[in-house]
Amino acid sequence: MGSGPLPRGSGLSLSPNHGPRRNGARPELVVIHFTAMQTAEAAQARLCDPAAEVSAHWLISETGQTTQLVDEDRRAWHAGAGEWGGRDDVNSRSIGIELANDGRSPFPEPQMTALERLLKAILTRWGIPPAGVIGHSDMAPGRKMDPGPRFDWRRLALQGLSVWPVPAPAGDFAADLHAFGFPDHPHLLEVFRLRFRPWADGPLDETDRALAAGLDAAAGRA
């Protein structure tokens, strides 16, 4: 498989774990994951195993090898339970990208470069805005933590491939996160910091509140 993104609707699905998108849904989100496995080969084997009942549209190895596992027109089984923007069945509304990573290691430069190339193609192909690029942890707080604290969200935002907030006058922290898309959950502060302040600890503070208040502007909705 080549390293360039394949065209939408190619009909290629190496994994049998997929189905039709429900209720006429089309991709409006991209969900980024890490595989939490030792190698990309092991991850691909699992994502293509019918007994595992999991899959993703794309897998990117540590060296940047980019493999399409499920056609983008199809509903891959990557997001599981959770919601974004007040709506569930994220699988029907999203494209899933798995990054080969054990959950602890940095993401290598070739992998990040390949991810950026793929994201540019997907966002253009489907008209998805940068705010639609989210982490698995964002939509499933308390259940998932990928792509984790070592993932460079700001790098993507600087290229228009995600968003990064500029502090704004602090408001209602939870309300600001819900307006952006985060679900209501007791672990909301943890999941917010996992993405935007992974080095922070302690109780909710004014920096958290100011960054949360800046999310609407970052998403182009202010």
> Roughly how many angstroms between the first and final C-alpha of the chain, as a whole number?
42
Environment class of residue 73 by beta-carbon count within 10 Å: exposed (0-12), middle (13-18) or buried (19+)?
middle
How far lies 80's CA from each of 18, 26, 55, 72, 134, in Å?
A: 13, 17, 11, 17, 14
Whole-number Å distance between alpha carbons of 32 and 157:
14
Strands (E), 35-177: 58-60, 66-68, 74-76, 94-99, 133-135
How many residues are recorded in the chain? 222
Whole-number Å distance between alpha carbons of 61 and 24:
32
Whole-number Å distance between alpha carbons of 5 and 167:
35
Residues acting as catalytic residues: 98
